[in-house]
Amino acid sequence: MMKALLVEYTVFHDPTLAPEGEAMLRVLKESFSRCGYEVVTPESGDLLDEIRRLAPLCDVGLVIAPDHLLFRFTSVLEKLTHSVGCGSMNAALCADKVRCGQVLSRHGIPVPGSNPSSERKVVKPVLGCGSVGVRLTDAPPGDGEYAQDYIEGEHLSVSLVGSRVIGNACSFYTGKPPLLLAVNRQDISIGDDGRFQYLGGETPVSHPRQEELVETAVNAVQVLGCQGYVGVDMVLADRCYVVDVNPRITTSIVGIAACMQEEIADILVQASKGAGPDAVHLEGRVRFDSRGRIERL
């Protein structure tokens, strides 16, 4: 039997985000099991040692971790087994949120501005994950933070799977274009203190501006060279603004997997080899919360 190593950071190290991490991990474990894999997970929170111990015994591996830690873990994993996630160098670029925005902007992809004189701005931790520490304020960012202009609009995300770049010493080709899994509506509240809180979402969403949303997300993923599952967070206003690119499994997978006929494990493995379906088939619509609970709509 083939083995799949699944490494999820928050279940060991972040009690606040652990419920989301456990929900994502559960979906992946069930999918890989249905696809015939024996699923292996770390037994302790020393994840680097656990990856070094377990990855050589496995056929494939995947890390879920806050963006700023993905390079550290994935760079070790991909030396020891076949990674079905985003490449470590591309993950590092996405983790540098300021530089990532600059790269997208240079390629004509709308991103929020960073006008220091803006009365209302969104301040975020440079090394953040999810909505933790994100707030709407008129104060300047502090140490370890950065600011983006606040854009009033719809909070949406697009879930894609990027295909591995295939090539050899003589030629390269980029493989299949990113596979659209779903457009998702994000349930984000802003408290009286300006703090953002991610509560979950709804998927799949059929939006009047669907083509614009998907095209913008696909362009962002291709510009950044992301492979594997990628969640592109957007605010839809006069344009589709990309506010974050998450080069990893996101909570939306909980809802998507509940509607998708295909197996996410099979899609990830095929995409990691430059292959996979051209489209997925979704049935029904669900609402999901940040703890992975599903309500069919």
SS3 letters across the chain: CEEEEEEECHHHHCCCCHHHHHHHHHHHHHHHHHCCEEEECCCCCCHHHHHHHHHHHCCEEEEECCHHHHHHHHHHHHHHCEECCCCHHHHHHHHCHHHHHHHHHHCCCCCCCCCCCCCCEEEEECCCCCCCCCEEECCCCCCCEEEEECCCCEEEEEEEEECCCEECCCCEECCCCCEEEEEEEEEEEECCCCEEEEEEEEECCCCCCHHHHHHHHHHHHHHHCCCEEEEEEEEECCCEEEEEEECCCCCHHHHHHHHECCCHHHHHHHHCCCCCCCCCCECCCEEEECCCCEEEC
Share of residues in the chain with pLDDT > 90 (%): 80
- Cβ pair 234, 156 in contact under 8 A: yes
pLDDT band of residue 142 (cuts 50, 70, 90) is confident
- Residue 166 pLDDT class (50, 70, 90 cuts): low
Pairwise pLDDT comparison (126 vs 100), residue with the higher score: 100
Handedness of CA 198, 201, 207, 212 (dihedral sign): positive
How do the domains of the chain map onto residue ranges?
Answer: 2-85
* 84-95 pLDDT per residue, tens: 999 999 999 999
Q: What is the Cα gyration radius of the chain? A: 18
pLDDT at residue 125, as a whole number: 85
Segment 214-239 mean pLDDT: 96
The mean predicted confidence, pLDDT, of the chain is 92
Looking at the chain, the whole-number percentage of residues with pLDDT higher than 70 is 95
CA distance 114 to 117: 9
Give the predicted TM-score (pTM) of the model. Answer: 0.93
CATH topology of domain 2-85: Rossmann fold (3.40.50)
User: Residue 169 pLDDT more than 50?
Assistant: no
Q: Does residue 171 carry a pLDDT above 50? A: no
Q: What is the pLDDT of residues 248-289, one digit of tens each?
A: 999 999 999 999 999 999 999 999 999 999 999 999 999 999
The pLDDT-based confidence of 173 (bands split at 50, 70, 90) is very low
- Name which residue leads in pLDDT, 173 or 256: 256
Classify residue 19 as exposed, middle or buried by CB count within 10 Å of its CB (0-12, 13-18, 19+). Answer: middle
Mean pLDDT of 188-213: 94
Give the mean pLDDT of 20-41: 97
Q: What is the mean pLDDT of residues 207-214?
A: 97
